[in-house]
């Protein structure tokens, strides 16, 4: 009975090793899939954010370079840019992982829309919402990572 028990023990040990190996491979595959999905989402979100920022820059430039008398005149180009801005903001709303990014992008778009309507004439009024939007974008793209404080010396 000795050789039969040794054979049975060998089969059991082999099966156990095989199952353990499959478990390790499946765990590694799941982690790799998670990393790939995260990278794909980050790339998609980055594109959405860059589109939003590009349109935001165009809206700001068009709104703040209007002549003072033309502040209330209808500008179809600026109106279309504002429409595009809200669509880009909706893209962020759909792609963002976090509520802070959604809220910051909305607040920035709202301030830009105010500038487009002539309610804001100073670019400095847009900086706070712009910085908050950029910070929230960074936090959503790279959660849990601290951003460098920008300790580089100012150019002389």
| CATH number for position 46 | 1.20.120
Decide if 153 is inside a domain.
Answer: no
Decide if 98 is inside a domain.
Answer: yes
**pLDDT for the residue 144:** 81
Q: Which residues, 6 or more positions from 22, have their beta carbon under 8 angstroms from its beta carbon?
A: none
Could you list the residue range(s) of the whole structural domain that residue 67 is in? 39-141
Decide if 118 is inside a domain.
Answer: yes
Distance CA(135)–CA(98), nearest Å, equals 12
Q: Tally the domains of the chain.
A: 1
**pLDDT for the residue 153:** 44
Decide if 10 is inside a domain.
Answer: no
Decide if 104 is inside a domain.
Answer: yes
**pLDDT for the residue 10:** 81
CA of residue 106 relative to chain centroid, distance? 14
**pLDDT for the residue 19:** 83
Decide if 9 is inside a domain.
Answer: no
Decide if 133 is inside a domain.
Answer: yes
Q: Which residues, 6 or more positions from 77, have their beta carbon under 8 angstroms from its beta carbon?
A: 62
Q: How far apart are the first and last CA of the chain?
A: 89
3-class DSSP state of 78: helix
Decide if 17 is inside a domain.
Answer: no
Stretches in the chain below the pLDDT threshold 50: 151-156
**pLDDT for the residue 154:** 45
């Amino acid at each position: 009975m000795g050789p039969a028990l040794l054979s049975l023990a060998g089969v059991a040990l082999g099966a156990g090793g095989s199952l353990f190996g499959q478990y390790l491979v499946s765990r590694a595959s799941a982690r790799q899939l998670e990393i790939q999905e995260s990278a794909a989402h980050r790339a998609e979100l980055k594109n959405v954010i860059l589109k939003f920022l590009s349109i935001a820059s165009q809206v700001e430039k068009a709104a703040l370079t209007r002549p003072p008398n033309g502040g209330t005149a209808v500008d179809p180009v600026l109106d279309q840019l504002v429409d595009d801005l809200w669509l880009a903001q909706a893209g962020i709303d759909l792609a963002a992982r976090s509520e802070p990014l959604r809220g910051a992008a909305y607040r920035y778009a709202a301030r830009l829309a105010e500038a487009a309507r002539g309610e804001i004439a100073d670019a400095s009024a847009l900086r706070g919402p712009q910085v908050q939007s950029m910070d929230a974008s960074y936090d959503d793209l790279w959660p849990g990572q601290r951003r460098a404080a920008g300790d580089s010396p100012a150019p002389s």
